[in-house]
Amino acid sequence: MAQLLRLVSHPVTTRSLLKSCNVLPAVLGNTSYESRRQFFGKLRRVDGTDVKESEIRLPDEIEHATGLEKLLLLAEEKGIDDPFCSKPRHRGPGTKEQPNLVPSFEDKRLIGCLCEEDATHLNYMWVHMSEPKRCECGYYFKAVAA
């Protein structure tokens, strides 16, 4: 019966075929698990014995995750899209009076500056909380508490 349903795709033909096979028409509109079970019957092994349904289900994604993955999922659930401040930031004015502020959990942070748009490398430098640091391109950066 299931093979016939796969072959026939037109709804009118499918309905008439199901009516000729004495299948309840109420099952057609509903796609829930119970209606599918009602339509196809119990799951059976090749030898004809019934398959017993288990009460054990897979845990939730957050319950299953561990370590860094779990921290990321919990942060995402709270609405924090960058929990470790690792996404790239765009430069602001970058003057000595208004440096680009870089969040840091320590008193210094290693950053990479893409000085030109078509550059193929980053200029890395240590930025401290005490004073702004100037990059080779002329922009200033300063670490602030995250």
Three-state helix/strand/coil letters over 101-127: EEEECCCEEEEEECCCCCCCCCEEEEE
Instruction: Give the residue, 8 or 15, on which the prediction is more confident.
Output: 15
Instruction: Give the residue, 132 or 48, on which the prediction is more confident.
Output: 132
Task: Kindly indicate the confidence band of residue 10, based on its pLDDT and cuts at 50, 70 and 90.
Answer: very low
| 115 known ligand binder | yes
Check the CA dihedral 97-102-104-107 and report its sign: negative
| 135 known ligand binder | yes
| 21 known ligand binder | no
Q: Are 143 and 89 within 8 A, CB to CB?
A: no
Dump pLDDT digits (tens) for 21-49.
Answer: 544 444 444 445 555 555 556 666 677 77
Instruction: Give the residue, 38 or 8, on which the prediction is more confident.
Output: 38
Set out the domains of the chain in order of their start, with CATH numbers.
11-49 (no CATH), 58-84 (no CATH), 100-145 (2.60.11.10)
pLDDT of residue 31: 47
Instruction: Give the residue, 97 or 19, on which the prediction is more confident.
Output: 97
| 85 known ligand binder | no
pLDDT of residue 16: 53
pLDDT of residue 110: 94
- Out of 41-45, 93-97, 122-126, which region has the weakest mean confidence (pLDDT)? 41-45
Whole-angstrom CA distances from 87 to 65, 114, 122, 136 are: 22, 14, 15, 22
